[in-house]
């Protein structure tokens, strides 16, 4: 069949944290395997697009900027949560405006929606246009399960019993009520973000497929339980490895890799908390004091705006011991043989990178699914340790460092992460589960292309 019409995929991103970058990675994979006549319009905010698009972005993917909801005359600083809430108030109108612009730019009506699962209103958009909607969950199966089962969990759990395990949900038996994302049982259950997640669960049943940014073998019970509930639940990740993100040493402007070359195998601690939130100032001080006293070599990725929080004289005092940089090529650093410990908030992408690189974790959760990830890291996979009371103190951090670097328990953690690494590599191999699931997902996406009449 000859094709003369364009198959136009509208990709709608949630422009906060690592969400948009993960969705763009998926779009890149799809573009690389797309049949003729397919184009992608990628819709996110201007700030988000400017950050994640580069010269290496596939030529079939064109960015379009949607309004972030912030009024031009507004000058009062906003917290990350406030920015999310402002953005949510602007949806879906801000996306509808730019969808019309993208349709005019491509000369083709939208043929399919591929969106972050958070953007539940894509279900309504797809139905209005009589086209498919495919959703992408950027984290793991367990966190998706927690939201899918929110009503059931609330009916059997309460804030008063935070230490109880969520045994009623398959795959979450090791998770405590206290570990669940805010808005499931604890926190403001009527906040815009909580409401967004509630609406998402209702609408996801209408999605043609739900892709998860993980691999089958990591959370098999939760994954298999979701399959009868949602259509085409497919672990197609992690994007960390399925889309190459490795940099050459020439891209390492901060000199981290050259510095690591001069250290022994497994001797260095890498500290990085992503680009959304960092621990409070008193904990930054405690972490710095623990590093100073431990004398363990470290690389700390810390924005310049946070340097003033470090104890007086810390940088000079630890100059021979550590390296503080505003930005580090994180995946390359973690892959370096000299790195043996990763201190992180345990976001899902960071978790996947640690598994890929075979590095044990010291975790201090900050938001979202971090608490669940931390619990799984320590109690289920046994590849890391949470800092005591989920807060950095000098004593607690030094104890965690000592456990991972020097104890038999630390060796067991490194062995366990090595096992998960092998499973991850197998899943993303030629015949692996993630590879096969991606093929199924792309088939779901591109099959509808044949319905377009030439």
Q: What is the DSSP string of 261-321?
A: TTS-TT-EEEE---SS----HHHHHHHHHHHHHH---EEEE--GGGGGGSPTTHHHHTTTT
Taking the C-alpha atoms of residue 2 and residue 258, their distance in angstroms, rounded to an integer, is: 53
Largest alpha-carbon pair distance within the chain? 71
Q: Which residues of the chain carry a pLDDT beneath 50?
A: 1-4, 243-250, 452-454
Is 116 marked active-site?
Answer: yes
Query: Could you tell me which of 346, 452, 444 has the C-alpha nearest to residue 26?
Result: 444
At 449 the pLDDT is: 55
Bridge partners, 137 (sequence order): 212
SS3 32: helix
At 47 the pLDDT is: 95
Taking the C-alpha atoms of residue 261 and residue 258, their distance in angstroms, rounded to an integer, is: 5
Query: Could you tell me which of 51, 200, 66 has the C-alpha nearest to residue 139?
Result: 200
**Per-residue model confidence as pLDDT tens digits over 117-149:** 999 999 999 999 999 999 999 999 999 999 999
SS3 12: strand
Taking the C-alpha atoms of residue 135 and residue 116, their distance in angstroms, rounded to an integer, is: 6
Give me the residue spans of the domains in the chain.
7-237+430-451, 249-426
Please identify which of the residues 8, 65, 68, 116 carries the catalytic annotation.
116
At 374 the pLDDT is: 97
From residue 46, give the alpha-carbon distance in Å to each of 50, 51, 283. Answer: 6, 9, 33
At 250 the pLDDT is: 47
Q: Which fold has domain 249-426?
A: Rossmann fold (3.40.50)
Query: Could you tell me which of 146, 139, 199, 137 has the C-alpha nearest to residue 172?
Result: 146
Same fold, 7-237+430-451 and 249-426: yes
Residue 447's CB is within 10 A of a number of other CB atoms, namely 11
Taking a C-beta distance cutoff of 8 angstroms, is the pair 244, 25 a contact? no
Taking a C-beta distance cutoff of 8 angstroms, is the pair 350, 272 a contact? yes
Query: Could you tell me which of 270, 250, 212 has the C-alpha nearest to residue 437?
Result: 212
Taking the C-alpha atoms of residue 96 and residue 105, their distance in angstroms, rounded to an integer, is: 14
Concatenate the DSSP letters of all residues of 345-412 into one string: ---HHHHHHHHHHT-EEEE---STTHHHHHHIIIIIS--EEEPGGGS--HHHHHHHHHHHHHSHHHHH
**Per-residue model confidence as pLDDT tens digits over 429-452:** 999 999 999 999 999 898 765 554
Residue 245 class from Cβ within 10 Å (0-12 exposed, 13-18 middle, 19+ buried)? middle
Taking the C-alpha atoms of residue 410 and residue 400, their distance in angstroms, rounded to an integer, is: 9
β-bridge pairing 110-116 and 133-137: parallel
Per-residue tokens: 284: 């930054």
DSSP count for the chain of H helices, then E strands: 19, 13
At 305 the pLDDT is: 86
Is 7-237+430-451 a CATH 3.10.350.10 domain?
no
């Amino acid at each position: 069949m000859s094709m003369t019409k364009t198959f136009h995929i509208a990709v709608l991103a949630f422009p906060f944290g690592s969400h948009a970058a993960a969705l763009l990675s998926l779009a890149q994979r799809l573009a690389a395997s797309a049949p003729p006549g397919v184009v992608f319009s990628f819709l996110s905010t201007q700030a988000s697009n400017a950050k994640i698009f580069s010269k290496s972005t596939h030529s079939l993917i064109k960015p379009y900027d949607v309004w972030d909801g912030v009024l031009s005359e507004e000058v009062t600083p906003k917290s990350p949560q406030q920015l999310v809430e402002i953005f949510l108030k602007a949806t879906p109108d801000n996306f509808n405006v730019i969808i019309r612009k993208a349709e005019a730019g491509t000369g083709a009506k939208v043929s399919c929606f591929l969106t972050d699962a958070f953007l539940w209103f894509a279900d309504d958009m797809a139905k209005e246009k009589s086209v498919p909607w495919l959703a992408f969950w950027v984290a793991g199966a367990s966190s998706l399960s927690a939201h899918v089962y929110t009503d059931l969990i609330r009916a059997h759990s309460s804030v008063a019993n935070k230490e109880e395990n969520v045994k009623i949900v398959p795959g979450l038996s090791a998770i405590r009520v206290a570990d669940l994302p805010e808005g499931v049982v604890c926190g403001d259950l009527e906040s815009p973000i909580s409401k967004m997640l509630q609406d998402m669960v209702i609408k996801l049943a209408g999605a043609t497929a739900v892709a998860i940014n993980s691999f089958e073998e990591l959370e098999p019970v939760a994954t298999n339980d979701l399959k009868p509930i949602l259509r085409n639940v497919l672990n197609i990740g992690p994007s960390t490895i399925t889309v190459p993100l490795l940099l050459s040493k020439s891209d390492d402007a901060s000199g981290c890799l050259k510095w690591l070359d001069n250290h022994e195998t497994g001797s260095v601690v890498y500290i990085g908390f992503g680009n959304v939130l960092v621990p409070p100032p008193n904990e930054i001080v405690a972490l710095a004091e623990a590093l100073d006293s431990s004398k363990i070599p470290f690389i700390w990725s810390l924005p310049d705006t946070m340097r003033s929080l470090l104890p007086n004289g810390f940088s000079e005092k630890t100059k021979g011991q550590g390296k503080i940089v505003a930005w580090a090529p994180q995946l390359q650093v973690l892959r370096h043989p000299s790195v043996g410990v990763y201190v992180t908030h345990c976001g899902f992408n960071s978790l996947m990178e640690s598994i890929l690189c075979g590095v044990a974790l010291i975790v201090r959760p900050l938001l979202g699914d971090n608490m669940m990830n931390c619990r799984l890291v320590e109690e289920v996979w046994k590849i890391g340790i949470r800092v005591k009371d989920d807060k950095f103190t000098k004593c607690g951090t030094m104890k965690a460092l000592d456990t991972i670097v020097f104890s038999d328990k630390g060796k067991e953690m490194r062995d366990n992460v090595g096992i998960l690494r092998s499973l991850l590599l197998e899943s993303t191999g030629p015949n692996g589960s993630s590879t096969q699931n991606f093929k199924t997902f792309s088939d779901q996406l591109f099959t509808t292309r044949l319905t377009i009449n030439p």
